[in-house]
Amino acid sequence: MPEKIKTSEITDEATYLNRRNFIKAGIAAGSLAATTSAFRFFSPAGSNAPQPPELAEVKRSGPSSDGLTPNTWEEITNYNNYYEFSTSKSAVAAKAEALVTRPWTVEVGGMVQKPKTFDIDELLKFDQEERIYRFRCVEAWSMVIPWVGFPLKKLIDSVEPLGSARYVAFQTKYDPIRMQSSFSAGIDFPYVEGLRLDEAIHPLTILATGLYGKQMPNQNGAPIRLVVPWKYGFKSIKSIVKIMLTDREPPTTWNQASPEEYGFYSNVNPDVKHPRWSQASERRIGEIGMRPTMPFNGYVDEVASLYSGMDLKKYF
């Protein structure tokens, strides 16, 4: 059994910012811009809000990246897409303070043998059993984030999927008292997303419970969110309350809102032009210059086989 690692021994933020020799588990590259202005240079103001507590001690902890420098805590937590609270990226952090994350449950069911509703503390035990650090690029821009989480596959395996299950559908929390209306946001709530089952059980797909070794901040999707690193950020649904296995392709929020712009797969593909902007280049938050967008967000070796034989311009 791996040696137990205490919270105090988890790599701190300063060490993350100086480390260059992480194990290669992938490259955090470009993501989709919600508007062309999302690619402008951005330097968010620091937040005076208290930081979340550190996560509990774990049995295994290991960062993984190819040496990319992560964005700072201030950048990651002060520039966010979370339409339930605001369509202004810089306003989300303050408004998301209203999100209540305890009590919290996640219903997991559909085409499974052992459907179950998990309390968030039960899910955190999956995290304690096998914690993964990964740098990922999410939201509607390029950002390098040291997520903490566990493989979604562990949760799916625990409910024993039926052989006929082909897709996984996700739903986020919607609280009309604390969140804005669908009319104000311009999209329907609750927010929904979906993956093919083989995408969902891929080792790179994680349920993230924190970042920088701390519990997930509200504005980043507390208390638990999806991270699918080779897809555009809107696929990585926040604040999950329901996960259902199905034999049919599930609806997804942005595909329903604008199907000509947002496909079901939403793989990072610089060769697919968004109707309103090019996706061939991207700007990383905190940087001035543009950089080429990498196919599959840099994870070609790991995930390209999932789409063998598919026309990725048609199935975008």
Q: What pLDDT, in 10s, does the model give residues 79-104?
A: 999 999 999 999 999 999 999 999 99
With 0-12 / 13-18 / 19 or more C-beta atoms within 10 angstroms meaning exposed / middle / buried, residue 43 is exposed
Q: What pLDDT, in 10s, does the model give residues 193-226?
A: 999 999 999 999 999 999 988 999 999 999 999 9
Q: What pLDDT, in 10s, does the model give residues 18-45?
A: 432 332 233 232 332 222 223 233 445 5
Say how far apart CA 291 and CA 314 lie, in whole Å.
Answer: 25
3 state SS of 155: helix
Pair 59, 166: CB distance under 8 Å = no
Residue reference for tokens 């390209």: 304
Q: What is the mean pLDDT of residues 183-189?
A: 97
pLDDT value of residue 287: 86
In a domain, 313, yes or no: no
The domain tally of the chain equals 1
In a domain, 101, yes or no: yes
Q: What is the CATH number of the domain that holds 33?
A: 3.90.420.10
In a domain, 117, yes or no: yes
In a domain, 2, yes or no: no
CA angle 129, 156, 106 (to 5 degrees): 85
Percent of the chain with pLDDT over 90: 61
pLDDT value of residue 45: 52
Say how far apart CA 119 and CA 108 lie, in whole Å.
Answer: 11
Amino acid in position 82: Y
Q: Of 84, 85, 124, 86, nearest to 104 (Cα)?
A: 124
pLDDT value of residue 70: 86
Q: Which two tokens stand for residue 225?
A: 């969110």
Q: What pLDDT, in 10s, does the model give residues 164-181?
A: 999 999 999 999 999 999
Domain that holds residue 288: 7-307
In a domain, 84, yes or no: yes
In a domain, 312, yes or no: no
Say how far apart CA 24 and CA 63 lie, in whole Å.
Answer: 9
pLDDT value of residue 59: 43
In a domain, 1, yes or no: no
Beta bridge partners of 116: 108
In a domain, 124, yes or no: yes
Q: How many CB atoms lie within 10 A of CB 142?
A: 28
pLDDT value of residue 30: 30
Torsions phi, psi for 42 (to 5 deg): -135, 135
CA angle 195, 23, 301 (to 5 degrees): 45
Rg (CA), the chain: 18
Say how far apart CA 173 and CA 179 lie, in whole Å.
Answer: 10
